[in-house]
């Protein structure tokens, strides 16, 4: 249905020399878990355990403990059946999508997972309707119909060729109707899903202990019996734990200095450093309710001054690359419109933009960032942005920060004049780098009507199954984003996974939205 460059999503291993020549141990896995669970470190702690509340990094955990109708088996770049046995558009207009479930599905508590549970889970997301939550992904859904114990039909209010991708996101995780209230979120740390693992134990912000779910029926072939995910506040502590063999894998949140040092100083080959192409983006959001950030001239002056190359080189040691479009390089419709319109950083051009708008005094702006979501380099990044803006003589910048859990609440309430966000895609399509950020309800909690994008360009592109034919629509959408300058792309990241030399599977453990599939990890054994 969708044309994709499959190679984009395959991580290219940069394994140490010793791990490449060791020979033994690369081809076989050890399911006995004699050394205990595989321990994975990340700085990306969940903000919630309830899928109805989450449009963020909580999906990393959800993918491993809940199940969706569709998902991404190893190597797939288009959604394939998981809880479903088959799914397809059952009409020619891409407005009716029918799924037949696998037989004998059960939740981890033994309750039956049927078509009614699927409908309940999707309807619940829309009924609770958390601000900035996953209901924003379901804009094209009219209603869900159950036509049998195993058949569920999604009726769309407009053609949407991306709907299968939406169903494959962890936001659409299927929950047990007997355990999750229909009109409110769960308040405890219990999880009742049907994924490859059960959540055996959970400490908020510290760790999640996963064990095999005996009731699981899906595509995942679990290469281990148990995984413990440890959540760290910063990269350096996580890397120290990896070097000290307290964890087996480090992923998400590795800062630039730690990546460079790991690559340079791994002479004994005790670790593998895997690098691959990524589609993570980082950007600034301007709040239209703020008296200064609401002014187009202020936003465009910031866009004119920001030196993305300096941020990528000085802060991130070239482990990221400058980004001039909300759609990252490697995806259909990528452009360089911000560079084409603004060119190289220029204080003179920025001053002219402000002066022509009648702004002659220094502009006071408060920039917010999160301390623990995207790695410890975020603080350095915002200090560099402050330095650049103040060096122009045109801005006075105040920096403020919060941990992710309270940071989310703040931007959903519209408290921040300008704030930083990162984006790991829900699915690998340019639609997912534009649609989540526009409309009255979006992932930022900051309304952005953009009627031409939401009313014309996105609907038209979603009627096209061959995504090679939507380039023009996404080029137009991106030009509108540049003209408004409500969102300012900064950089596009690469993906790095560091692992002990006796761990295998890390290279293929990332799905197309860069979520780690814990079941792919295993310890090597000798022949």
The predicted-structure confidence for 461-520, as pLDDT tens digits, reads as follows 998 878 888 999 999 999 999 999 999 999 998 888 999 999 999 888 888 778 899 999
* Pick from 198, 212, 262, 217: nearest CA to 235: 262
Can you tell me the mean pLDDT for 83-99? 94
Q: Which of 256, 254, 283 has the alpha carbon at shortest distance from 385?
A: 283
Q: What is the pLDDT of residue 525?
A: 75
What whole-number distance in Å separates Cα of residue 167 and Cα of residue 172?
A: 6
Of residues 186 and 373, more confidently modeled: 186
Q: Give residue 11's pLDDT band: very low, low, confident or very high (50, 70, 90).
A: very low
Residue 28 above 60 pLDDT? no
Q: Quick: pLDDT tens for 15-25.
A: 332 332 333 33
Per-residue pLDDT of 433-455, as tens digits, reads 999 899 987 888 888 999 999 99
What pLDDT does residue 268 have?
A: 76
Which tokens in the block code for residue 527?
């022949």
- pLDDT score, position 441: 79
Q: What is the mean pLDDT of residues 187-205?
A: 95
Contact (Cβ atoms closer than 8 angstroms) between residue 520 and residue 505:
yes
For the segment 116-137, the average pLDDT, to the nearest whole number, is 93
**Which of 38-52, 176-190, 226-240, 495-509 is least confident?**
495-509
Given a cut of 50, is residue 527 above it in pLDDT?
no
Mean pLDDT of 321-331: 93
pLDDT of 33: 52
Spatial separation of the C-alpha atoms in residues 215 and 197, rounded to whole Å: 9
Model pLDDT, residue 2: 31
Confidence at residue 74, expressed as pLDDT on a 0 to 100 scale? 78
Cα–Cα distances in angstroms (integers) from residue 123 to residues 81, 135, 312, 434, in the given order = 21, 9, 42, 24
- Is residue 404 scored above 80 in pLDDT? yes
Question: Does position 322 have pLDDT exceeding 50, yes or no?
Answer: yes
pLDDT score recorded for residue 17: 28
The whole-angstrom separation of Cα 463 and Cα 384 is 42
Q: Answer whether residue 65 shows pLDDT above 50.
A: yes
Reported as a pLDDT band with limits 50, 70 and 90, residue 34 is low
Q: Average pLDDT over the chain, rounded to whole?
A: 89
Strand-pair partners of 493: 320
Residue 9: pLDDT band with limits 50, 70, 90: very low
Residue 120 has pLDDT above 80, yes or no: yes
pLDDT at 513: 78
Place of tokens 């953009």: 450
Q: What is the pTM of this model?
A: 0.76
Percent residues over pLDDT 70 in the chain = 93
Using left for φ > 0, alpha for ψ between -120 and 50, and beta otherwise, residue 362 falls in beta
Which of these ranges, 59-73, 267-281, 299-313, 369-383, has the smallest mean pLDDT?
267-281
- Most confident region among 7-11, 72-76, 185-189, 487-491 by mean pLDDT: 487-491
Mean pLDDT of 156-178: 95
Q: Where are the alpha helices (DSSP H) in 284-442?
A: 296-305, 308-310, 337-342, 347-356, 377-391, 404-412
3-state class (DSSP) for residue 78: coil
- Give pLDDT tens digits for 239-275: 999 999 999 999 988 888 899 888 887 877 789 988 8
pLDDT of residue 32 exceeding 70, the answer is: no
Enumerate the H helices of 365-524 as residue ranges.
377-391, 404-412, 451-452, 458-462, 471-484
Q: How far apart are CA 292 and CA 331, in angstroms?
A: 34
- Are the C-beta atoms of residues 251 and 373 closer than 8 Å to each other? no
Residue 408 has pLDDT above 50, yes or no: yes
DSSP secondary structure string for all residues of 114-151: -HHHHHHHHHHHHHH--TTSGGGGGTTEEEEEE-SSSE
Mean pLDDT of 169-178: 97
Beta partners for 146?
Answer: 152
| 76 close to 58: Cβ distance less than 8 angstroms | no
């Amino acid at each position: 249905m969708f044309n994709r460059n499959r190679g984009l999503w395959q991580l290219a291993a940069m394994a140490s020399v010793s791990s490449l020549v060791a020979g033994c141990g690369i081809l076989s896995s050890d399911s006995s878990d004699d050394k205990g669970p595989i321990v994975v470190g990340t700085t990306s702690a969940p903000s919630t355990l309830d899928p109805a509340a989450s449009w963020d990094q909580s999906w990393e955990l959800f993918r491993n403990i809940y199940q969706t109708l569709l998902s991404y088996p190893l190597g797939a770049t288009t959604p394939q059946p998981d809880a479903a046995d088959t799914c397809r558009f059952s009409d020619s207009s891409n407005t009716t999508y029918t799924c037949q479930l696998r037989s004998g599905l059960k939740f981890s508590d033994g309750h039956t997972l049927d078509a009614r549970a699927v409908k309940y889970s999707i309807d619940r997301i829309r009924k609770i309707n958390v601000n900035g939550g996953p209901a924003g992904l379901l804009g094209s859904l009219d209603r869900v119909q159950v036509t049998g114990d195993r058949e569920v039909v999604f009726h769309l209010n407009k053609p949407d060729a991306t709907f299968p991708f939406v169903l494959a996101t962890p936001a659409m995780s299927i929950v047990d109707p007997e355990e999750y209230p229909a009109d409110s979120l769960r308040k405890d740390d219990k999880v009742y899903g049907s994924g490859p693992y059960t959540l055996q134990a959970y400490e908020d912000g510290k760790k999640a202990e996963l064990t095999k779910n005996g009731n699981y029926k899906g595509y995942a072939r679990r290469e281990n019996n148990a995984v413990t995910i440890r959540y760290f506040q910063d990269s350096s502590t996580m890397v120290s734990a990896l070097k000290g063999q307290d964890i087996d894998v480090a992923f998400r949140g590795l800062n630039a200095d730690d990546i460079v040092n790991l690559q340079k100083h791994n002479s004994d080959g005790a670790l593998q450093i895997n690098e691959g192409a990524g589609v993570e983006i980082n950007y600034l959001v301007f709040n239209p309710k703020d008296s200064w950030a609401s002014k187009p001239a202020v936003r465009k002056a910031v866009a004119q001054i920001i030196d993305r190359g300096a941020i990528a080189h000085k802060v991130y040691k070239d482990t990221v690359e400058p980004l001039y479009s909300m759609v990252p390089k490697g995806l259909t419709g990528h452009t360089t419109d911000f560079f084409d319109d603004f060119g190289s950083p220029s204080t003179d051009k920025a001053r002219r933009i402000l002066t022509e708008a009648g702004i002659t005094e220094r502009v006071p702006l408060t920039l917010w960032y999160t301390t623990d979501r995207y790695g410890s380099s975020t603080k350095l990044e915002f200090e560099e942005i402050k330095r650049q803006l103040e060096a122009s003589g045109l801005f006075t910048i105040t920096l403020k920060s919060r941990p992710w859990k309270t940071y989310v609440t703040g931007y959903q309430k519209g408290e921040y004049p300008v704030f930083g966000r990162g984006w790991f895609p829900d699915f690998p399509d340019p639609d997912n780098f534009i649609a989540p950020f526009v409309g009255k309800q979006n992932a930022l909690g900051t309304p952005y009507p953009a009627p031409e994008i939401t009313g014309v360009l996105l609907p038209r592109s979603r009627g096209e199954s061959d995504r090679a034919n939507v380039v023009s629509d996404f080029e137009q959408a991106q030009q509108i984003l540049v003209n408004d300058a409500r969102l300012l792309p900064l950089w596009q990241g690469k993906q790095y996974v560091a692992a002990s030399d006796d761990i295998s599977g890390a290279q293929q453990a990332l799905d197309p939205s860069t979520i780690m599939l814990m079941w792919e990890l295993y310890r090597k054994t000798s022949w």
